[in-house]
């Protein structure tokens, strides 16, 4: 996500190329890569933790006497040998080779997520927890610092908060993205503001809060948190759902980078410099035009 803080030092501006601007500050780029690495390791270690109990429930309790399972990944013996399955809201799908039953030919084992998708690749719940919690604290600390700094320096209000004019442009912005027609400007477009805002102010905080709710040690510190979220099992389900949404965001984010020009986008988030369209290309159309 290339969405945290912008600045344009006049001393570094290239007078011969007015389309090249300094779009991403050092703090932007640092937090971007810290979040990216943190989420990567949290995802793979989180899947390892999930493998220890590959079911999701709604409610405060779970077990054989309760009928509140909404997701289950496992393996079963059939006439054709062991098969992996994924069951969602009572609907079962054969996912052999990917979910439930996977591994090299002849060495398959029953596990929810395959070895290549977890950290560590072998079953080690203790190591997975250490990795997961370490990067969770890195993510939480940098997000909190970013939020406070963004409120103080006005970055959130100036660059991320959608304005009334942005909402008016939303239909046209959706059409432009559907047609893969991108406008390279200093400011984020409406869809970017909405997507980045949803991740930064909804999904990431919700992931942190549900993570705290799942920790038994936090019950004594924040005993009301579990009650608000509907119980530890519900918090775990929300946590997993947020993970899925973040993965979907990442996939769409990468596709948009490839479609909009990967060299320009990567240069922006690595060096800070971003090439915009020549001025004539992003003149606003007349009132009423499409």
Mean pLDDT across 268-279: 89
Mean pLDDT, the chain, whole residue set: 87
Fold of 10-52+124-278: Fumarate Reductase Cytochrome B subunit (1.20.950)
Does the structure show a pLDDT above 70 at 144?
yes
Query: Range(s) for CATH 1.20.950.20 in the chain?
Result: 10-52+124-278
* pTM assigned to the model: 0.84
| Cβ atoms of 146 and 167 closer than 8 Å | no
pLDDT tops 80 at residue 5:
no
- Decide if pLDDT at 41 tops 60: yes
Write the pLDDT tens digit of every residue in 58-96.
876 655 555 688 999 999 999 989 999 999 999 999 999
Q: What is the pLDDT of residue 61?
A: 61
Average pLDDT over residues 121-125: 92
Confidence at 289, pLDDT banded by 50, 70, 90: very low
């Amino acid at each position: 996500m290339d969405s945290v803080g912008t600045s344009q030092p006049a001393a570094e501006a290239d007078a011969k190329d007015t389309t090249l601007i300094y779009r991403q500050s050092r703090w932007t780029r640092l937090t971007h890569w810290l979040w990216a690495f943190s989420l990567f390791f949290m995802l793979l270690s989180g899947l390892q933790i999930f493998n220890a109990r590959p079911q999701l429930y709604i409610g405060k309790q779970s077990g054989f006497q309760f009928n509140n399972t909404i997701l289950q990944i496992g393996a079963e013996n059939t006439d054709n040998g062991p098969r992996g399955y994924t069951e969602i809201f009572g609907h079962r799908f054969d996912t052999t080779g990917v979910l439930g039953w996977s591994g090299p030919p002849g060495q398959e084992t029953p596990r929810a997520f395959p070895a290549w998708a977890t950290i560590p690749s072998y079953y080690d719940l203790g190591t997975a927890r250490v990795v997961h919690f370490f990067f969770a604290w890195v993510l939480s600390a940098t997000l909190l610092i970013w939020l406070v700094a963004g409120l103080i320096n006005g970055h959130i209000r100036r660059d991320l908060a959608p304005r009334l004019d942005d909402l008016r442009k939303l239909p046209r912005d959706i059409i432009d993205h559907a047609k893969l027609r991108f406008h390279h400007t200093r400011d984020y477009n409406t869809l970017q503001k909405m997507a980045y805002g949803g991740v930064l102010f909804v999904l990431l905080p919700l992931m942190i809060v549900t993570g705290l709710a799942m920790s038994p040690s936090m019950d004594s510190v924040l005993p009301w948190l579990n009650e608000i979220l509907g119980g530890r099992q519900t918090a775990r389900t929300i946590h997993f759902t947020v993970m899925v949404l973040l993965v979907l965001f990442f996939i769409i984010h990468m596709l948009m980078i490839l479609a909009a020009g990967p060299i320009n986008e990567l240069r922006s988030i690595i060096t800070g410099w971003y090439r915009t369209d020549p001025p004539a290309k992003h003149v606003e159309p007349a009132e009423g035009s499409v």
